[in-house]
Structure 1
Amino acid sequence: MTAWLSTYKWRSYLQNDVMAGLTVGVMIIPQSMSYAKLAGLPVEFGLYSSLMPLYAYAMFGSSRQLGVGPVAIVSLLLATGLAHTLENEGVTPENTGEEEYQAIYTTLAMQTSVLVGLVYVLMGLLRLGFVTIFLSHAVVSGFTSGAAIIIGLSQLKYFFGYSIPNVKTLQGILMYLFKDIEQFNWTTFLLGMSCVGTLLGLKKLATKYPKLKWTRAAGPLLVTVVSIVLQATIDMEARGIPIVGHIPAGLPSFTGSVIFPVSNTGIINVVISIAIVGFMESIAIAKKLAHVHGYELDSSQELAGLASGLFGGYPVTGSFSRSAVNNDSGAHSGLSAIITATMVLVTLVCLTGVFESLALATLAAIVISGVVSLVDYSEAIYLWRVHKFDFSVWMCAFLGTLFLGVEMGLGLSVGISLLLVIFESAYPHTAVLGRLPGTHHYRNIKQYPNAERYDGTVLIRVDAPIYFANTQHVKEKIQKYYERAEEKLHEEHRRHSESNNNDESDENNNVIRSSEVQRVQFVVLELSPVSHIDTSALHTLHEIKALFCDDNVQLCLANPNPRVMQRLVHSGFADEIGSDHIFVALHDAVHYCLNHMDNVEIEKHLSQMSLNKLNEQNNDVDYGMPSSTEHSNGDLGLNV
């Protein structure tokens, strides 16, 4: 908080912050009540979760526009996880009674909230905000899209007018919805669909006409007011439309005595899943807003700023919709969050009686309209067009969440992300290089097929750090490129020999041809992209050198960075291959290899020419040779 207070421009910012806070407050009150129902809690817990956490985040969070509070995905994760935990222990409404079950469930929800807060604080102190990079965008988008559909379908029971069991899979929800379809209540359905249509229409209007962007925030308040007015005038409850009912007035009490001890360890999985998803959702929008407004965001401090739960709330995180409204309304600092929390406080003290007349179908409509934008089908289309593998990852996360449930879908999504990290790390990109004609630049021959290559020399680039996870792959790739080059040389030499057999003039014998290079003599590793090597990599380099030595092939290195070079020197590998085989630039290495091969071939060629001429002279001169038997024992040929 001191960061933005020290630079706060009261005359310029205060009015905007107050207006933004009031706007988000109008939006968060009905939303938080809706999400509390989604989480399986009484509506007042949504208001409790929108009070103290907002004050806490204004003081400790580093984002100045992030709208913190209850969100749909975290609410669904909480409902799914706690219901599953209690079911495994045989605690159901049928066994314990509805009131006792709700009391146990509420206690677990508050315990989960505190544990999630503790996890956030611990991760913040340990600077573990970087863990978010291990969830790819495709995985997060697929999981969020699947969860959004489950959230929307789970609210249809308030539209249809009858309850269904607490199942969180697509097939389970649809089965129970159609199983009791004869209980369908058309009046509830009509009210709910009218509210959804109004909310989506206002969102569309705000998107199409920027001057009317205030309608986006006003939508939830509008349908809430209309629903309350209808209940007051025509008594919807008497016509079969359920309403919220009693909401306790007053501020939440300190619940520390209820939180500890945590006897049910089954909620640990729920805590972990909420911590991962909650932080991912929060940090995504917070980073974008920080970039737009030009200030630094400390992702580890965000973890500490999200800690809450000792005042009757359930787990909260940053909301995409409320953050967007807060930003569009001109928020400059955490003061807007303080204004929003104060509005919730006034509601809890003075206005709970008003919201008791709110129809449950209206709350369900607010949830559905909020999660429609989370179904990211445009991302799936983009991935299909650009990267089929990422599209497959998106589909796995999406379908896993739909058909296996949110918790299993989250586990599958995290598993896929970790597998991708391992795969990309264990199988780095490698390339054979060639020289672009007329330049000193060397590029991948697959990308530039016209790049020049040199017989007898293989240029290889490894585009990643080399360490224990990928050393085997790197070794296999280097051997593969070497063997391919050898095979190509042998094939070219064979074809050349067949086509020129018995057809070589003396003039041709004075020219060194590329076909005379019959084997690979140099393998050059371009190390400029290699930022790090470990001891496993050093052992692998020793093995590669030993294999090449057996084939009389020289290993050369080009452009190792200082860190890599230090490891090469300390390990003795630099001395092993010789300092004359380590080059500053790849072009220098190529020059060395070509000059060395030229000198060797010239010497071999001149020696062969000398022997040929001497043999011709020997054939023309009569040395008075003895008989063939005596000649076979002489050393004349060797002396010549």
Structure 2
Amino acid sequence: MSSVEQTNRTGQEEAEDDAEASVGRLIRSQESFDKLNQYEIPQESPIIQRAIEHISPSKCTGCFFSVFPFFDWIQDYKLKKFLIDDAVSGITVGVMHIPQGLAYSMLAGVPPITGLYMAFFPVLIYIFMGTSRHVSMGTFSVVCLMTKAIVAAHAKPDTVDNNFDKPPDLSFSDAFVKPDNAELTSVQVAMVVCFAVGLWQVLMGLFRLGNISVLLSDTLVSGFSTAAAVHVLASQLGSLLGVKVGKYNSNFKVILVLRDVVMNIPSLNYVSLSLSLSVMAVLIIYTEIIKHRLEKRCHFPVPVEMLCIIIGTLLSAGLELNSKYNVKCVGNIPRGIPSPSLPAFWLLPDIIFHSLPIAVIGFTITLSMASILAKKGHYKVKANQEFIACGCGNLFASFFSCVPFAASLSRSLIQQNVGGKTQIASVFSCIFILLILLAIGPFFEQLPNCVLAAIVIVSLKGMFWQVKDFPGILRRSKLDAFVWLGTLLVSIFWDIDYGLGAGLFLSVLCVLLYGQQLKISILGKVPNNEIYLDTKHYLVAQELPGIKIIHISGSLHFANKNQLEKSCAKKLDLHSHHPPTVTISKDGENNPLNSQNESKIQSVILDMSSVSFVDPSAADSMSNLREDILHKLEGHLYLANCSPNVLEALKKFNFFSGDFPIYHYVFPSIHDAVLHAQQSSLSTGL
């Protein structure tokens, strides 16, 4: 027989061959398959027994090292090999902390010195509790900007963005009970925000919610951070141009700030503008032209931002820019470290829910950066422990006049690229920052604000360049592009918090749309083997006479149960007045015009290999489908390739009953179901 003739055999001949094969090939039911392979339903241990297992000495030791990873890896620390690299890396990052700390803390509406506090106090905790060996914790622009929204809403207006002496510490009673006519400074409000953020992060870590970051897709984070860069730019325009800009604590802040800038252009401070443009030009030329060439010769980065701050401070002091040209400067910077003080806990109910987005964003940024560096360093980070480490760091720092902290992309990359091996580099960074706080802090009192604004704006270049990623996102997925654009526009034109909420809503909506969709297709048999393929894509696959094989791909739940019933009914033509048939074409294609024979459907096989979940509503829909097949087609429904969790779920939902026993209608493969259906059809003479 030629290959063409063999391919074009009738469906009846194939049925007879399969029936003969069934004599030599044992038809495996699901029950016999489970017995042969010793299938066993996993049994969960009682809660008390599991608790007892976790309080053994070995478990307690492991728990201690899990909470404080520092004491685990420090035992293998190679002093002679790692110490020099960590010292150089730590001091290099410490130098970077100064310009970034002074600049970014202004985004939170607190004095610039707060940024140096953030480079010291929370980092001390993270060193012992964090699982990343390379991230540099401290100020981060987006977190500081989100904090300012809360600070501006609850602090005395004249303390936001202004410098002042440290306010008096709250007494124990004033910290828990709101005094009459109580007014808080921006630092005091930031301390409460820092405590609330730490509280959220610790709770989410304890409840094992470390994977919550998966809700923040790369697309959402890209759109959100781009919008945050626009907010940061708008917040720095006043200092950059030396014009007066209103302090807004309402929606549409970006638009209102731009309006103020345009209206106050006549009062432009040309000295501030010239100094800002000079600093920006130096930073851009260095970054785009000099840096790459210099890196080939130097093994450590040149602190250009730090040099700009030093030169700007010297020029301001020597030329008396503040008094003669009305250039605003940093102002009073206290020497030393702040003494611990209690946050105003009575403010917590008012800001606790507004602090949740900051907690999630700060953690997500830190975990993303830690994961990237861990992949390069060939080690792993633990998401839940990172939550706890960040939370404890914020709780501790809230007693020392700090703003919520997070990992910095630029500093973390420098810490690893310079040669840092462990968090001992952060120890050297903290020592360096401590020396700055104790001795050199007041030197920066004459530093012009426009210099810090220029440093902040140039550092945002990477965030602004994310706009060029949008065309690629649009080509890959229109839904992802919708999330990116929606997050960006809502964040810019409404507010950054609402933008994050909108992005989360759109992301979850996309997941629901994807998860609700089912793909239902008809399978046919490939001649001479036991392979069954989609007849729409594989022309060689032929439907078997009297049998309809339906492949279901997706999770079955209440949201798509109607789609399941309608799609299967359409495939089986259950609502037609004519009995449905399987059409077999001469050339192997399902084409009614080339029909060779038609056979009434007697058996329907559902291929469940791509079904990962079934809920009670979907099980009821499958029962309805089974009844329609029984009464309208006078046929039988079979299940094939059910995963153990799907099979157990169907048992739990009473899908199998006396007239539909599992051992007779469920099979471990499509071919077993096909052989059983053909044998049953032949035995009944159908």
Q: TM-score range by the shorter chain?
A: 0.7 to 0.9
Q: Paired residue for 1:564, among 642, 646, 654? A: 646
For residue 146 of structure 1, what is the aligned residue in structure 2? 227
1:40 matches 2:109 = yes
1: CA distance, partners of 2:357 / 2:75: 37
| Match of residue 40 from structure 2 | none
Return the offset for 1:351: 0.6
Percent sequence identity is: 26
Equivalent of 1:162 in 237, 243, 250: 243
Q: Which residue of 2 aligns with 1:374?
A: 463
Corresponding position of 1:402: 492
The Cα shift of 1:547 comes to: 2.3
Shift of 1:430: 4.2
Name the residue aligned to 2:186: 105
User: 2:473·2:481 contact (CA, 8 Å) conserved in 1?
Assistant: yes
Query: Letter of the aligned partner of 1:226 in structure 2?
Result: I
In the alignment, is the contact (CA less than 8 A) between 1:397 and 1:412 conserved in 2? Answer: yes
Mapped contact 2:90–2:426 kept (Cα < 8 A): yes
CA-CA distance at 1:60 after TM superposition: 0.6
Q: Deviations over 1:450-502 (max 9, x none)?
A: 64444644333333343444434433433343339979996998999xxxxxx
Name the structure 1 match of 2:444.
355
- CA distance, structure 2, for counterparts of residue 310 and residue 69 of structure 1: 16
Equivalent position amino acid for 1:516 in 2: E
Please state whether the residue corresponding to 1:306 is helix, strand or coil.
Answer: helix
TM-aligned CA deviation for residue 290 of structure 1: 1.3
CA distance in 1, matches of 2:578, 2:262: 67
Return the offset for 1:434.
Answer: 4.1
Root-mean-square deviation (CA, aligned residues, Å) is 3.2
What amino acid is the match of 2:105? A
Instruction: Give CA-to-partner distance per residue, 1:417-438, whole Å, 9 cap, x none.
Output: 2222333333344444445566
Q: Alpha-carbon deviation of 1:5?
A: 0.6
Distance 1:269 1:594, change over 3 A: same
CA separation in 2, counterparts of 1:230 and 1:35?
22
Structure 2: distance between partners of 1:160 and 1:295: 46
- Answer whether contact 1:65 1:289 (CA < 8 A) is retained: yes
Q: Larger radius of gyration, structure 1 or 2?
A: 1
Aligned residue in 2 for 1:266: 350
What per-residue deviation string (whole Å, max 9, x for no partner) do you get for residues 45-78 of structure 1?
A: 1111111111111111111111111111011111
Amino acid at match of 1:44: I
Q: Determine helix, strand or coil for the equivalent of 1:245.
A: coil
For 1:208-247, list aligned pairs within 5 A: 210-211=295-296, 218-237=303-322, 238-247=324-333
Helix, strand or coil at the partner of 1:253 = coil
Match of 2:456, SS?
Answer: helix
Q: Deviations over 1:168-211 (max 9, x none)?
A: 64322221110111111222122212222322333334457752
Q: Tell me which residue corresponds to 1:415.
A: 505
Alpha-carbon distance between aligned partners in 2 of 1:443 and 1:53, rounded to the nearest angstrom: 58
> 1:250 — aligned with what?
336
Letter in 2 for 1:234: L
What is the alpha-carbon distance in structure 1 between the residues aligned to residue 526 and residue 234 of structure 2? 58
- 1:315 and 1:460 mapped to 2: Cα distance? 54
Partner residue, 1:54: 123
| Structure-2 separation of matches of 1:346 and 1:20 | 17
TM norm structure 2: 0.77
Deviations 1:378-426 (A, max 9, x none): 4312212211221121111111111112111111112212222333333
For residue 462 of structure 1, the aligned residue among 522, 527, 552 is: 552
**Is the CA contact 1:169–1:404 (under 8 Å) kept in the aligned structure 2?**
yes
Residues 11 and 568 (structure 1 numbering): CA distance in 2 closer, same or farther, change over 3 Å? same
Amino acid at match of 1:128: L
Contact 2:189-2:344 within 8 A present in 1 as well: no
The question of whether the paired residues in 2 share the 8 Å contact of 1:62 and 1:301 is answered with yes
SS at match of 2:355: helix
- Residue 277 of structure 2 corresponds to which residue in structure 1? 193
Q: Which residue of 2 aligns with 1:287?
A: 371
- Read off the aligned partner of 2:86 and give its amino acid letter: D
Distance 1:313 1:94 in 2: 15
3-state SS, counterpart of residue 340 of structure 2: coil
Equivalent residue, structure 2, for 1:19: 88
Is 1:178 matched up with 2:262?
Answer: yes
Aligned twin of 2:399 = 310
2:214 matches 1:129: no
Structure 2: gaps of 5 or more residues:
1-69, 168-181, 587-594
Classify 1:392/1:24 alpha carbon distance in 2 versus 1 (closer, same or farther; 3 Å): same
- Unpaired stretches in structure 1, ≥5 consecutive residues: 497-512, 605-640
Equivalent of 2:426 in 337, 349, 370? 337
2:643 and 2:585 map into 1 onto residues whose CA distance is 42
* CA 218–457 in structure 1, closer or farther in 2 if over 3 Å, else same: farther
Displacement after TM superposition at 1:23 (Å): 1.1
| Whole-angstrom distance in 1 between the partners of 2:306 and 2:241 | 23
- Code of the aligned partner of 1:367: V
| Greater mean deviation of Cα atoms: 453-462 or 376-385 | 453-462
Select 2:453's aligned residue among 337, 349, 364: 364
Amino acid at match of 2:208: R
The whole-number CA distance in structure 1 between the counterparts of 2:320 and 2:529 is 84
Classify the secondary structure of the residue corresponding to 1:356.
helix
Look up the SS of the partner of 2:347 in the other structure: coil
Change (3 A) 1:536 1:286: same
Task: Indicate if the aligned counterparts of 2:154 and 2:184 stay in contact, CA closer than 8 A.
Answer: no
8 Å CA contact 1:152–1:368 kept in 2: the answer is yes
Report how far residue 129 of structure 1 moved: 0.6
Is the CA contact 1:460–1:524 (under 8 Å) kept in the aligned structure 2?
A: yes
How has the CA–CA distance of structure 1 residues 202 and 215 changed in structure 2, closer, same or farther, with 3 Å as cutoff?
Answer: farther
Distance 2:683 2:576 in 1: 21
- 1:577 pairs with 2:660: yes
Q: Equivalents in 2 of 1:198, 1:431: separation in Å?
A: 62
Q: Is the Cα contact below 8 Å between 2:582 and 2:598 reproduced in 1?
A: no
How far has the Cα of 1:445 moved from its partner?
Answer: 4.8
After the TM superposition, which residues 63-82 of structure 1 pair with which residues of structure 2 at under 5 Å, given as runs?
63-82=132-151
Deviation at 1:225, TM superposition (A): 2.0
Counterpart position of 2:5: none
Of the structure 1 ranges 313-322 and 259-268, higher mean CA displacement relative to structure 2 is found in 259-268
Q: What are the superposed Cα offsets for residues 235-286 of structure 1, whole Å, 9 maximum, x if unpaired?
A: 3333333221110111021122xx1432363312321110111111111111
Shift of 1:18: 1.0
Q: TM-score, normalised on structure 1?
A: 0.82
Are 1:24 and 1:217, in contact at CA under 8 Å, matched by a contact in 2? no
Change (3 A) 1:229 1:312: same
Distance in 1 of aligned mates of 2:381 and 2:262:
48
**AA of the residue aligned to 2:453:** A
Instruction: Call closer, same or farther: CA 1:248–1:92 in 2, change over 3 Å.
Output: closer
1:278 to 357, 362, 377: 362
The structural deviation recorded for 1:350 is 0.4
SS of alignment partner, residue 270 of structure 1:
coil
Per the alignment, residue 479 of structure 1 pairs with: 569
Is the CA contact (8 Å cut-off) linking 1:251 and 1:348 kept in structure 2? yes
| Contact 2:108–2:151 under 8 Å retained in 1 | no
Change (3 A) 1:351 1:533: same
**1:201-236 Cα distance to aligned partner (Å, 9 max, x none):** 333344577526767562321211221232243333
What letter corresponds to residue 564 of structure 1 in structure 2? V
Shift of 1:361: 1.1
Name the CA shift for 1:181/1:429 in 2 (closer, same or farther; >3 Å). Answer: farther
Post-superposition offset of 1:353: 1.6
